[in-house]
Structure 1
Amino acid sequence: MNPIAANKAELIAIADAVAREKSIDRMIVIEAMEEAIQRAARARYGAENDIRAKIDPRGGDLRLWRVLEVVEEPEDYFKQISLVDAKERESDVKLGDFIVDPLPPIEFGRIAAQAAKQVIVTKVRDAERERQYDEYKDRQGEIITGLVKRVEFGHIVVDLGRAEGVIRRDQQIPREVLRVGDRVRSLITLVRRENRGPQIFCSRAHPDFMKKLFAQEVPEIYDGVIEIKACARDPGSRAKIGVLSHDSSIDPVGACVGMRGSRVQAVVQELAGEKIDIIPWSPETATFVVNALQPAQVSKVVIDEEDTRIEVVVPDDQLSLAIGRRGQNVRLAGQLTGHQIDIMTEAAESEKRQKEFVERSELFEKELELDETLAQLLVAEGFTSLEEVAYVEADELASIEGLDEDVAAELQSRAVEALERRESGYRDARRALGVEDALSEIPGLTEEMLVRLGSKGIKTLDDLADLSTDELIGKGDKRREIPAGLLASFGISQDDGNAIIMAARQHWFADEVTDEATEA
């Protein structure tokens, strides 16, 4: 029905029907009608006029009027009136007031009616989009159920009832086939406002989707008695979750599995047969890593806290089980624990330790001029470098069986001399490369680091200052694996890297101050 040609009762009926259908406030529909009627009236009487329309939200009565502003000398005779002429209409009028000219109801033509209809449609659509955004913007992280509406380029459009959601191809479970009309559950991951309407992105591959499913199936998780501390998924294939019970009388793994596996099977069916390993979470990193690698048995765990790497030693017959098919088991365990896990057999670990023992023993024999027995004794006591020997507490060195204070002092003296010789050698190499001395004055840079920089063409303060921190030390926790980091192998922290770059740039700021002083 055309709202412009409708009578007053029909106007209210149309507004109520549209408001119910689109789930928006009826006043928004009435305001859209008023604006549509105003536009149509301006097209009838002239767009230059300031014409207003008002619909009574109760009775539906329509009023039209033209507004004229009272001024001293009109510049726009369509919207303004002089004070003299205004006083002929209303004697008590004054400057700045508005004169209202009522207009009679008019019949609108087909073109005007179509234009008015377009205005109403646009206004109602904008209000509907805003309502959808307001309804879903605070529901990120919730599980929602909808019907598959259509599939576009591999992306699934889901009818959520009062809006549409999208499950992108990379957020679907691989090899899962969903057809139009299928009922599907997914996790709302992002609600974004856009010109074409709110975009609601959903996921079935996100780890939080599995967490929410367990919260629905396991009352103890919903109540907070059991907490899912970590989760890692290979969607459609396998997953691992680490659970912790805040009540010592409740077994977290058993509660999640349920009677005869009923609870976990409900989640598995929703995830298209994805196998789920439920693992007891532990604050002890080594214990949690051992649990995460189940069902493989672990012999030993070696943790490198600074590099977030963990070496795990397993029996020879457990290697393939620990790694898993295509590395799946160790990859999921690494995601679950937040560490990079290196798997090796007992034989490989023994060979590696023996090789390290020989290399360190030969280092001490050569640099400290020791016999083989004493060098091996130092390595056996845990010393791995000349720096440790040189700067360890003398009492700790003297407490080693077979050593006294005099021998300990001599060892430290030789270690300091060896370090000085090494530093001197690096200094000569640095100067031979043409690296200027100003770089050696920057805190945090050793002569060995400067040799590395010089070999890569970084020889002046400006060369170093032009680098970013990522280019200097690499990026993130795994910076040692990034070849772009010139000093990646030295294990420099992000803060120390920033400090080195800023120290190299200090002369830029000093030059700017000097230039400003000269100009002044």
Structure 2
Amino acid sequence: MAVGVSANRLELLQIADAVAREKNIDKEIVIEAIEEAIQKGAKARYGAHHDIRAKIDHKTGELALTRHVTIVADDWQPEDELEEFNDSAMVRLTDASKRDPEAEVGKEYVEHLPPFEFGRVQTQMARQVVTGKVREAERANQYEEFKDRVGEIVNGTVKRVEYGNTIVDLGRGEGIMRRNDSIPREVFNIGDRIRTYIYDVRPEAKGPQVMLSRSHPGFMAKLFAQEVPEVYDGVIEIRAAARDAGSRAKMAVLSNDSSIDPVGACVGMRGSRVQAVVAELQGEKIDIIQWNNDEPTFIVNALAPAEVSKVVLDEEADRVEVVVPDEQLSLAIGRRGQNVRLASQLTGWQIDIITESQDSERRQREFTERTALFQEALDVDEVIAQLLVTEGFATVEDLAFVEAYEISEIEGFDEDTAEELQARARDFLDRKAAELDAKRTELGVEDGVLEVPGVTLAMAVALGEGGVKTVEDLADLATDEIRGGFEVRGGERVKVPGVLESFNLAQEDAELLILQARVAAGWIDASELPQPEPEPEYEEEFAEGEYDADAVFGDAGDATDGDAEASEEAADEPENA
């Protein structure tokens, strides 16, 4: 459609107003887009090298089309390589002064241009400009609309389904729910009403992406906030949640009012509240457990309905070993490992489950091995060795460097006995060290390797056996070469051992060892070593257990895909491993 700029001067304002209302954007943006389109059309008619500007009066619709020429200095130079002097839009000061005594750098000469008719090409160009500007404004509006709504439940209508991904019309925009963000076996048809959870809004080139989910733990938490007034009011806090979407979930709750039972409030009278959430989650069973600031107690609660005999924490590795009665093993693990997996996600600990009989066998085996070690190292009889193990000594180093009174206080021992045992322990360690040092020398490992912080004699021997004999050799290693890893050979994934794999170094320790070697080799400066983090200063409210629920249901929540059941139902339905 050809558009004449000499047409009814109110026509452009009417068009801008209609587009703004339809697209729900600012009218000023549409007018600016039309101005830009007219400018491009005018440049196509008069020449792209001209500085032509279009201005529409926002009240009268009057169009002013002008050409501008700017005075520049005689020694004007372009700011970049692509720019050059344009004699259609610029005039040097000397030339301008010949015609205008008042000429000065920066002054503009404005020439009004007559109206013209848009041709077919110019009309198409104008349409593209306006459409592009309007689309950009729509995208900006949609991002502004949803960027602060992350963590909310929204209602929408299924617009279309593409390759398992569901596009949802949210009214003032649309969102996408990917296949893995939906509840398994849940099928939607075009036009279906749907409730979803906004877990991310991404400003991408093709427009803002509103990411929706029905499997996110936060979706379940928000549903409880809608069904349980105490949660909505903040009297009850949902501290953590983990889901195996469509199957089972676990949720930890805490009451800020000692007179309110958080689990009972979430379950409701005869399970009415939890059943409303279960219905929305397609029958997903939900275990509601009591949050506890004491980590072992919380872990025991999280493994419900299984009973726990003992919990042993390894805080450095973020692992916990849980001992359960033999008959409770299948219940603790759950169907396909579901119960322990959800408990691990809920607590943030890696949970290893063993039975009481396995724990007893392991302790007996360790007792026997340590007894034999002390008998050999200290040249004592079995009774004394067993007594040392019973008192908690696990290695010869423990015995050699402990305070003497800790040995002499053992029943039947005295100070002389303690001194003798420690002397024998130190002699044994000296002999072992001498043997290791001799082997290191035999393998050709330089003394400098031992001077690298973190390298022990045993490590030096292992390095020598792996062909690492100089500080430079050690500095040139990668972490996988130290800890071991996998590589693909002939299309198969093959395990490749590391030179220090038997020492079970953590990733961070292996990286630090390599960096220390590079400092010793002179490759890097010591200032490049990672600095130890300062001890955290816990605020009073955290000491009292007041944690931020957003930290629980934020990005980390994506890792806790899961499923659930009301705690009172959990005990009624035992699972099989």
**Which runs of structure 2 are paired with 1:66-81 in the superposition (5 Å)?**
66-70=67-71, 76-80=86-90
C-alpha contact (below 8 Å) 1:86/1:99 kept by paired residues = no
Tell me the CA shift for residue 436 of structure 1. Answer: 2.1
- Is the aligned partner of 1:348 residue 2:358? yes
How does the TM-score come out when normalised to structure 2? Answer: 0.81
How far did 1:114 drift? Answer: 1.9
The answer as to whether partners of 1:299 and 1:315 remain within 8 angstroms in 2 is: yes
| One of 499, 512, 518 as aligned partner of 1:505 | 518
- Note the C-alpha offset of 1:108: 2.0
Q: Which residue of 2 aligns with 1:181?
A: 191
Kindly indicate whether residue 463 of structure 2 is the aligned counterpart of residue 450 of structure 1.
no
What CA distance in whole angstroms lies between the structure 2 residues aligned with 1:91 and 1:460? 82
Classify 1:108/1:338 alpha carbon distance in 2 versus 1 (closer, same or farther; 3 Å): closer
1:31 alignment partner AA:
E
**1:39-78 maps to which residues of 2 (within 5 A)?**
39-70=40-71, 76-78=86-88
Matches within 5 A, 1:116-265: 116-265=126-275
TM-aligned CA distance change 1:99 to 1:414, over 3 Å:
same
Aligned to 1:405: 415
Classify 1:312/1:71 alpha carbon distance in 2 versus 1 (closer, same or farther; 3 Å).
Answer: closer
- 1:92 is displaced (CA, Å) by 5.0
**Structure 1 alignment gaps of length 5 or more:** 476-481, 513-520
RMSD: 2.8
Against the structure 1 CA distance between its residues 396 and 88, is the aligned structure 2 distance closer, same or farther, given a 3 Å change threshold?
Answer: closer
- One-letter amino acid of the structure 1 residue matched with residue 364 of structure 2: Q
AA at the equivalent of 1:247:
D
Spell out, residue by residue over 1:126-183, the C-alpha distance to the aligned partner (whole angstroms, 9 max, x if none): 1111222222223222222222211212221111222221112222222221222222
| Mapped partners of 2:452, 2:47: distance in 1 | 77
| Alpha-carbon offset, residue 492 of structure 1 | 4.4
Structure 1 residue 76 displacement after superposition: 4.6
* Aligned counterpart for 1:290 among listed residues 291, 300, 315: 300
Moved more, 260-269 or 451-460: 451-460
CA separation of 1:129/1:259 partners in 2, compared to 1, >3 Å: closer, same or farther?
same
Residues 1:310 and 1:510: Cα distance change in structure 2 (over 3 Å): closer
- One-letter code aligned to 1:244: L
For 2:405 and 2:2, how far apart are their aligned partners in 1? 98
Task: Among all aligned residue pairs of Structure 1 and Structure 2, give the percentage whose two residues are the same amino acid.
Answer: 59
| Uncovered stretches (5+) of structure 2, i.e. residues with no partner | 77-84, 486-494, 526-577
Deviation at 1:389, TM superposition (A): 0.9
Is the contact between residue 66 and residue 113 of structure 2 (CA under 8 Å) also seen in structure 1? yes
Which secondary structure state, in structure 2, belongs to the residue aligned with residue 509 of structure 1?
coil
Q: Secondary structure at the match of 1:390?
A: helix
- Say whether 1:378 aligns with 2:388: yes
SS at the partner of 2:207?
coil
Once the two structures are TM-superposed, the CA of residue 24 in structure 1 deviates from its matched residue by 1.3
Task: Provide the residue aligned with 1:368 in structure 2.
Answer: 378
- What secondary structure sits across from 1:193 in the alignment? strand
| CA drift at 1:408 | 1.0
Q: What's the secondary structure of 1:130's corresponding residue?
A: helix
The range that moved more, 261-270 or 43-52, is: 43-52
Is residue 2:425 matched to residue 1:415?
A: yes
Q: 1:292 to 1:441 in 2, by over 3 A?
A: same
* C-alpha distance in structure 2 between counterparts of 1:354 and 1:224, whole Å: 50
Q: Distance in 1 between matches of 2:73 and 2:379?
A: 107
* The structure with more helix, counted as a fraction of residues: 1
Conserved 8 A contact 1:4-1:116:
no
* CA deviation after TM superposition for structure 1 residue 499, in Å: 4.0
Residue by residue, what CA displacement relative to the aligned partner does 1:183-241 show, whole Å, maximum 9, x if unpaired? 22222222222221112222222222222222222222232222222222111111111
Equivalent-residue separation in structure 2 for 1:268 and 1:377 (angstroms): 56
Amino acid in the other structure paired with 2:471 = L
Would the aligned equivalents of 2:471 and 2:521 in 1 still touch at CA under 8 Å? no
Tell me which amino acid in the other structure corresponds to 1:371.
D
Q: Which deviates more, 137-146 or 327-336?
A: 137-146
The structure whose RCO (Cα within 8 Å, separation 6+) is larger is 2
> Normalising by structure 1, what TM-score?
0.90
